[in-house]
Structures are given as structure tokens and as C-alpha cells.
Structure 1
Amino acid sequence: MTPPLRVLIHGGGIGGLTLATALGQRGHRVEVAELRGEPDGVGVGITQPSNALHALREIGVLADCLAAGFRWEELTLCDPAGRTLAVLPQPRMAGVPAANGIPRPALAAVLGRAAVAAGARIRFHTTLTELTEEGEEVKVGLSDGSERRYDLVVGFDGTGSPLRRRLYGDAFGPEYTGFAAWRVTLPRPDWLRGVLVTSADRAAKVSLTPVSDRLMHLAALSAEAEEFRPDPRRAHRQLAERLTGIEGPVAEALAEVTDPAAVVYSRISQVTVAAPWHVGRVVLAGDAAHASTPLLAQGAAMAIEDALVLAESLDAEAEVPAALAAWERRRRPRALWVQALSRAVLRQETGTPTTAAEDELLAIGVPGAAHVLVQPY
């Protein structure tokens, strides 16, 4: 086991706060540099699949997540008219639900409290400005003018990762997939007890997901030009245009979207760092290293797994470099498999030609992938 370390986590999102909690609970001295003024809770709801819930149980926040969210066990496939085609029970890891929907702000609050309770210090409105590795230390300059030394620096700083750019320049920047996600938070009807999925003329995939006792989110995936941005005055109407032809529950939910400001739009990009994810005592994790499309709902889950496995690797190894090497050997195959399969599912569901390698991945099917993902990581 490594001795207690001084650790800087660059990024206070889901992965960063999970790692801060896991390391703080193990006695490491942790600081989180977060550019925003509060824990990163931007967006609408998020799905926590069973493997994410299993990892969150390990740091003691499962009960809080379930209390703030809405657990579910089934996925219902419908045709555009709203008729049920299939009801698919979702696999689960032992002792946790198949999935939990939760509002992002609620999850950020849960993880922020856990990190602070574990002894981590969160430095808001702060980002990294200088980085120099000196022997067994990393000298870091921060935007508040301070200069500090750490034994380990971890970049959980997202698809646009400043830390990744410091290590590799523009070599592994985000790659736009040609698709974007539209999301809206709405009141949850009592009948929605799991996820409902369908498609539309211009949207490859549309879903309703419960995220609390009172709320659900509507999410739509559509092909969009990279430069496209919704009109802030009519974003709700632009979303409706993409859902032309849909009837039934999704149409009823869409009719409630009357405020263009309620529509959250985000382009879907992926990041693949083909070089090592760690250089010396600096390591990239989560979306900074392997951002994937949302088709398997595994992006945040992979970041949470990254965090827990990194903490475990530091437990198992006597030196930081050995722990980082062991962590990457364990995480790279799983994270890149999820990324590749998720991209293949995106191509399949949008009618985009797939490669032979993607066809091999798709042969397992999404249900098969779900069963793989609830195996130990």
C-alpha cells in the first residue's frame, strides 16, 4: 500500500468526487480543483446502471443516491405509435438495483457531501495553470495564484480536459459523432416505473426515464451538423420537429415542453487517448481519457469505476507509478470496449454503416453487453 499521499484531483464532477471520497476514506490528503462555483450538477437526469451503484455502495453513498432518485428494473420498447413491443428485465449486480435514475444536481450534492465528509478539500473557481514533475513530486500552479506540491495529480476534467492538453496537446481531442442529445426534465407520471424507449422520423432514439419520485427526463438523439445550435427562442419547437410522427406517452410528455429554456442540448463527442493514460505521476481518467457516446448509459459509470479501481490500485501497490500502471492495465480494456460498443450501437440505431469490427461487437447485443457489465470490474 502506498503511504498517505497528497493528491490533486482536477475536476469536481462525478468521477472526481467519487475518487476524492474513496481516497479520503483511505487516509490520503485530497484537494479537488473545480472551475465552477459549486459541484458539477449541470444538466438534467442521469442513469446509474447496476455496476455504478455497486461501486457507489463501496464508498457508502448508495442509500443517498437511491433516496434522491428512482430505482427501476425494466426497459420497455415501444413503436412510434406508443404500442409496447417488448419489456426487457435489466440485469443487476448482487445487492443493488438494476438501475437508478437521479437528477444530476442531486447526485452532485450527494458526492460533494461524501467527499467533504471524507476529508477532501474542494477548491471552487480554481483550475490548473502550471504543471511540472520534479522527482517524486508534481509542482502545480493554480489559478488563485498559489503553488503546491502533490504526490499524484488526477485529471477527471472532462472531454475538453485541460490536463490532457498539457500532456498531449491537441492529439486526442474530442471527436464529434454527428449526433446530439436533446434533454428536458418533466413531471413523472405515476405509470412510468422504468425506462421507455422508442424512435421517430428524425430522432434515432427517444426515451423517458424516471429520475425521482416526481421527475423524469425526456431525451432524444438526432443527427445534427456540428455547427448547429438550437434557437434559444424556439428550442422546444425544434425538438418537437425532430419527434414528428411519435404518438402515445412520448407525445404526451412532449406536449408539456413549452419553455425553450428548459431544453438542454449537447453534441455527442468521444475521446480516445491512444497513448498511455498516465505520464509519471499525472493520470487522466473518465471522459478525459475515454469519453463514449451515451447509448449504453455507461459514461458516468466508467468514471465511477475508474475512481474506485484507482483507489484500490493505490492500496495494492507500494509506489504510485506501479499503482498507475496496474490501474491502466485493468481499466483500459473495459473502458475502450464500452466506448467501441456504444459507438457501434449509435451507428446501428441511426442507420449509419458499421465496420466489420463493429459488427462483431454488435453480435453480443445490448442485452448481452448489460450482462457483461454487471460482472466484477
Structure 2
Amino acid sequence: MAPTLRVLIHGGGIGGLTLATALARRGHTVEVAEIREELDALGVGIIQPSNALHVMRELGVLDECLAAGFAWEVLTIADPAGNTLARIPQPRMDDLPAANGIPRPALARVLGDAALAAGAKIRFGVTVTELDDDGTGVTVALSDGSTGRWDLVVGFDGIGSPLRTRLYGDRYAPAYTGFANWRVTVPRHPDVRGVLMATAGKEAKALLTPITDELMYLGAVFAEAEDHRPDPARAHEQLAERLAVFSGPVAEALRAVTDPAAVVYSRISQVTVEEPWHVGRVVLAGDAAHASTPHLAQGAAMAGEDALVLAESLDAADSVPEALEAWEARRRPRALWVQALSGAVLKQEMGAPTTPEEDALLEVGVPGAAHVLVKPY
């Protein structure tokens, strides 16, 4: 491999910024093209399981993530009233915490600062308009009228990836699962010192996840029509209606929500690119290639692993094409296993029919998956 590469990353989310930092620290020339005008990560909080924290340590930002978030070790299962049914210690990778909850905007700041400090350039308000891969490099035109030539173009541009559409047309459009995620940030209950899963069987499940000393988020998944959108004037009330079976800390969290605009609603969709994730010198990663449901809390972790392993693969290979082949061979089995098990857990929790293949995955279950995923990637 040449000592330095010119790499364009399309998308400034978790995976894109992780890759930008990893490559820039290795001396490569890196630019991130981000369609947004700033790194204003949408959403509430995110769970960084131990394997995600391992990526952050390799990147040199572990301490910043832990300082901005809330680390925890134990998953608590509770009944609808909040009474503890079980406390399950979570596995760790090496000497890291089992998990860290962190606000999405805080994580965006940490990763953005790291990328810039490493020497990467972030260009806001731009997207790719033209690609020409001649086998030795890729000429890219951006929406601001600029043109550049790159050794590698990486699409970390999310579940709606424009680069995926350029490469494969509409063959891999996001597929709606029939379910949607409701989330809202609330003051942290003092007893919530790790994820608390309150369950009413298949009727409803609610998660309380600490993300700072002061804050946690409430999350719940329900079957929703594909065209459903919460009422802008009463989204908080609609969420409370769906979780009416709960008392205790879940009900207390709901009472703290008085602004309907605070409720974040997102449909749960999946993407599986069944063809190779790279075409020539253009490669898709993270949600652009293998978007999962959130049921293993591994979406961001998979994007981070994709990024770090891609940087390592470029180190080890003699050429960009060889690096992409090696990277995909290493990443595809793990990422698609996470995706398949996440989808099976969603079906199981919602009482939807499962296939024999999904039943076999469900024998591993969420606790078993956590032990698998703290192994080296």
C-alpha cells in the first residue's frame, strides 16, 4: 500500500468520523463530505456497548466518551410497577465498562473534535453529485461545484445512503419492519444506574437508559402503520397512552414530558446489501450496507468496528482493492449476524411469526449475543 492515500468519506456520522480519525492519524489525506450544516446529531441518547468502547479506546477518545456519558455494568429487568425481577451483569471486553450511555450530540462533538485534531477536513452542506471510477482512482464532483480525485470513496451515509443508490439503483431501499421507536430524554431517576427494562410481556416493553448523571432516555417500540406520524400537539400523550400499563419509574418519566416536540419518533427499517459492499474503489459501510433494528444496541458499534477494521485493512494490504476484499470478508459475517439476530428479537418481542433460521438465532438470545460481541472483531 502507498504510504498515504486520499480518502473521501461521504457522511459525518459515527462511522464516518471514526474512519476519518483513524485514517488521518495514520497520515492519510481525509475529507468528510457532510450534507448537514453542522454536526448536530439528531435523536436522544445512544448505548455504547463494550465493543463500541473498545473502538473508542483505539481511537483515543474513550475518556472523553466516559466523561460525557454514564457507564454501567448491570441490566435490570423489572415488572410494570418497576419492581426488580432480575439483575444481569453484562459482559466486558478487556477491562472496559460493560456499556456507556451517552447523548448523541455529545458523541458527535467528541468524534468531530477528534477528526479535526487528527487532521481530517469536514466539509458541511455538500453531497456527491457525480462519481467516475477509472480503476486507479475516483473523480468526484460535489454539490458545491468542486471536483477532486480520490484513491477511495467510503459511503458512511446512513440507511438512506445516496451512494448506495448510485451503486445499486433502488435494489436495496430501506425495508420498513412494521415497527417504530419512540424515545424521549427525561431527568435520570436515581435508581436507574444502568439500563432498566420494564416489561409487560408482549403487551409493551419500556427501556430507561442513563446517558449522563442528570439525564436518561425512555424508549419503547410499537407496531405502527408505515404512514403513521405522531400528532405534533400531543405526541407525549400518545406515548403515555401506549405505555399506560406501567407505573413506577416509567410512569414517573412520562410525567416529566410536557413538550410533545421532545418525543423522537423513528420508523425501524432494515437494509441488507446482498451484493459486495464495494464496487471498484467505492465502498459502503455501517447502515448504508447493513442497517439493523436497535434490539442489540449494536448499530453504532458495528459502524465503528467497520471504520476501524477498514483502516487496519488498508494498513495491511498491498492495494486498495485487496484491502476492500479483506475488510468485507472480515466484517460481513459479524455485521449480518447482528442484523439477523436483532430482527429476530424484534419479531419475538412483538409476537410476530419467526422463521426456523430466526428460531435458531433466538436460542442464542440477547444475553448470549452480548457474550459473542465482546470477543475480538
SS at match of 1:364: helix
Query: Which residue is equivalent to 2:31?
Result: 31
Q: Map of 1:40-189 to 2, 5 A cutoff?
A: 40-189=40-189
How far apart in 1 are the matches of 2:60 and 2:294?
26
**Percent of residue pairs identical:** 73
Return the letter of the residue paired with 1:38.
Answer: E
Return the letter of the residue paired with 1:100.
Answer: N
Q: 1:201 to 1:345 in 2, by over 3 A?
A: closer
Return the letter of the residue paired with 1:266.
Answer: S
How far apart in 2 are the matches of 1:222 and 1:135?
46
Q: How far 1:189 sits from its partner (Å)? A: 2.3
How far apart in 1 are the matches of 2:103 and 2:37?
19
How far apart in 2 are the matches of 1:249 and 1:189?
7
TM-score relative to the length of structure 2: 0.98
SS at match of 1:363: helix
1:198-250 deviation per Cα after TM superposition (whole angstroms, max 9, x unaligned)? 23588642100000111100111111000000010000011011101111111
1:12 and 1:40 in contact (8 A); partners too:
no
Of 109-118 and 40-49, more deviation after overlay is shown by: 40-49
1:158-200 deviation per Cα after TM superposition (whole angstroms, max 9, x unaligned)? 0000000000000011010000011111111222111100235
Query: Which residue is equivalent to 1:5?
Result: 5
Return the letter of the residue paired with 2:130.
Answer: E
TM-score relative to the length of structure 1: 0.98
How far apart in 2 are the matches of 1:2 and 1:260?
53
How far apart in 2 are the matches of 1:353 and 1:69?
37
Of 77-86 and 219-228, more deviation after overlay is shown by: 77-86
Return the letter of the residue paired with 2:342.
Answer: S
1:146-168 deviation per Cα after TM superposition (whole angstroms, max 9, x unaligned)? 01110000000000000000000
SS at match of 2:354: coil
How far apart in 1 are the matches of 2:251 and 2:203?
13
How far apart in 1 are the matches of 2:349 and 2:202?
12
2:68 and 2:212 in contact (8 A); partners too:
yes
Return the letter of the residue paired with 1:167.
Answer: L
2:271 and 2:287 in contact (8 A); partners too:
yes
How far apart in 2 are the matches of 1:95 and 1:134?
46
1:322-360 deviation per Cα after TM superposition (whole angstroms, max 9, x unaligned)? 000000000000000000000000001111111100000
1:202 and 1:242 in contact (8 A); partners too:
no
Q: 1:203 to 1:299 in 2, by over 3 A?
A: farther
1:309 and 1:327 in contact (8 A); partners too:
yes
Query: Which residue is equivalent to 1:326?
Result: 326
2:202 and 2:351 in contact (8 A); partners too:
no
Of 56-65 and 34-43, more deviation after overlay is shown by: 34-43
How far apart in 1 are the matches of 2:211 and 2:298?
16
Q: How far 1:95 sits from its partner (Å)? A: 2.0
Return the letter of the residue paired with 1:26.
Answer: R
Q: 1:345 to 1:201 in 2, by over 3 A?
A: closer
How far apart in 1 are the matches of 2:203 and 2:166?
37
2:202 and 2:350 in contact (8 A); partners too:
no
1:261-316 deviation per Cα after TM superposition (whole angstroms, max 9, x unaligned)? 10000000010000000000000000000000000000000000000000000010
How big is the alpha-carbon RMSD for the aligned residues of Structure 1 and Structure 2?
1.0
How far apart in 1 are the matches of 2:203 and 2:162?
33
Of 95-104 and 77-86, more deviation after overlay is shown by: 77-86
Return the letter of the residue paired with 2:271.
Answer: V
Query: Which residue is equivalent to 1:206?
Result: 206
Q: Map of 1:149-298 to 2, 5 A cutoff?
A: 149-200=149-200, 204-298=204-298
Aligned length: 377
Q: 1:109 to 1:270 in 2, by over 3 A?
A: same
Query: Which residue is equivalent to 1:335?
Result: 335
Structure 1 unpaired stretches of 5+: none
2:202 and 2:349 in contact (8 A); partners too:
no
SS at match of 2:123: strand
2:77 and 2:199 in contact (8 A); partners too:
no
